[in-house]
Structure formats: structure tokens, C-alpha cells
Amino acid sequence: MPVTIDLTGRTALVTGGAGGLGFACARALADAGADVVLSDLESPRLSRAAAELGAAARPADLTDRAQAAALVDGLDRLDVLVNCAGIMRTTPLLDIEPGEWLRVVDVNLNATFWLTQAAGRRMAGQGAGSIVTLASVAARSGRPNAAHYSASKTALLSLTRSAAEALAPVRVNAVCPGVVLTPHVGGDHQRPRPPLRPRGRGGLPEGGRRALAAQAGGAARGGGGGGVVPGQRPGVVRDRPGAQRRRRTGDELT
């Protein structure tokens, strides 16, 4: 069943907005009527992406807690946060150097926490809002060649559950996409590479679009609670069996 969400008058902040999924999420939110603010590391890519969407660009290195807080403080209003900023490294477990481990955890987990905390404080104060975090199918299983990535994404699921409890009625959810060809996974999203179907900057797969719109749309309704919505095959975001028994999770997503 199609999900129709109207986010007119709402402000949505999307991190990693110059990247593949961030841009696609931002476009989905803009299509739903939201005023979109794109954040990413300062680069021409960010300016180009924002210009393409007619969105505001707010550069920030989110591993810096002060920059994360300033990003939220600089917004007149904030109804939806999509945590898309992230990095992936492919290195066998025994070869991961301390610096690489720390960097992956810093960007994927710490930065997401700084921003979730800052945004959560604002949203809890206004009694409404929606936070959606991009985890990964890698959160659900080990990755012998990306143990840091997998561990950081698993930690995001736990953070999401904690934040959902702590911040209610603010909605806090995570989605767990499978592989989508973007720069993140070394994909050239201009060139199809069967058997994977590239989604890249062009847009979200329909399942992901519905998931994002439904979760972000909770902001307009002021619904509370949260949950985790793992994807099960490349490019598709699905709700977890039994998720409908949880309170106000991704039950609109089937």
C-alpha cells in the first residue's frame, strides 16, 4: 500500500548528504515537502548536492562534538534527523590498525551519538520529532573483513533502542540496508554492475523510500517509540518479523 506523507513545513536534517544514500534520503524528504538541510564534510560535493535539491548546506565534521552541537543550534527548527554519515573500511580483522579501528568507530558511532544527543535534546524539548539512523545488514552478523564497521553498526542498533526509550515521544528508528552501490562501497553509481542494481544518488529503492517517509512522517503526528528495521536483501528495507508487536515501530512499512 502506498505511503503518503506530507512533511510540508517540517525541517529535515540529513547528514552524509553529499553521499549516495544521504542524497537519496534528502530527495525523498524534499519530495514529501520537507525543508531539507544537507550536512557533510565541507566539499564542493556538498554544495553541488544542496544546489541540486534546493536545500541548505551546512558543512560539519560530526566527529567533533562541538560541530555537531553547533549544527543543531544553528537550525531554526528541527523535526527530522537522518543520520547517514558513515564510513566503511575493508580490512581483515588481524590487520586492522588502531587508527583505522578508532576512525571507523568515531565516524559511525561517536558522531552519530553526538548528533543524536544534540537533536534529541531539541526534539524532546519540543515534544516531537523523528530520528532515523542508517545502520546496516552488517549490524546483524559478523564481517571478518570489516569487524570495525560491523561492530559500529551493531552498536547503533543498541543506541537506537536506548534513544527510543529515553526520548519518547520522539520517534527513534534505525534502518539496515543491504548493499547499495555508492562511493561508500566503492561503487561507481553511474555504471550498472549486475547482479547488483545500483541505486546510488539517483534515489532510494521503493522499500527504503517508504520506510524513510513513514518513519519521518511520525514527526508530523508526534508519535513516540522506536525500533529497528533490518533490510534482508540488497537495496530493500523491510520490517523485522514481529516488529508490529513493538510499540509504534516500523509497522507502516509492509
Ligand X SMILES: NC(=O)c1ccc[n+]([C@@H]2O[C@H](COP(=O)([O-])OP(=O)(O)OC[C@H]3O[C@@H](n4cnc5c(N)ncnc54)[C@H](O)[C@@H]3O)[C@@H](O)[C@H]2O)c1
Which residues would be at the binding site for ligand X (CB under 6 A)? 15-16, 18-22, 40-41, 61-63, 84-88, 107, 111, 134, 136, 177, 179-180, 182-185
Choice between 152 and 249, CB closer to ligand X? 152
Residue nearest to ligand X (CB): 19
Choice between 55 and 220, CB closer to ligand X? 55
Choice between 140 and 224, CB closer to ligand X? 140
Give me the least distance between CB of 75 and ligand X, in Å please.
16
Give me the least distance between CB of 117 and ligand X, in Å please.
15
Give me the least distance between CB of 184 and ligand X, in Å please.
3
Choice between 128 and 237, CB closer to ligand X? 237
Give me the least distance between CB of 221 and ligand X, in Å please.
26
Label each residue of the chain as H, E or C.
CCCCCCCCCCEEEEECCCCHHHHHHHHHHHHCCCEEEEEECCCHHHHHHHHHHCCEEEECCCCCHHHHHHHHHCCCCCCEEEECCCCCCCCCHHHCCHHHHHHHHHHHHHHHHHHHHHHHHHHHHHCCCEEEEECCHHHHCCCCCCHHHHHHHHHHHHHHHHHHHHHCCCEEEEEECCCCCCHHHCCCCCCCECCECCCHHHCCCHHHHHHHHHHHHHHHHCCCEEEEEEEEECCEECCCCCHHHCCCCCCCCC
Choice between 15 and 160, CB closer to ligand X? 15
Cα angle vertex 75, ends 155, 202, to 5°? 65
**84, 66, 64, 114: which is closest to 13 by C-alpha?**
84
Give me the least distance between CB of 152 and ligand X, in Å please.
9
Q: Mind telling me the catalytic residues?
A: 149
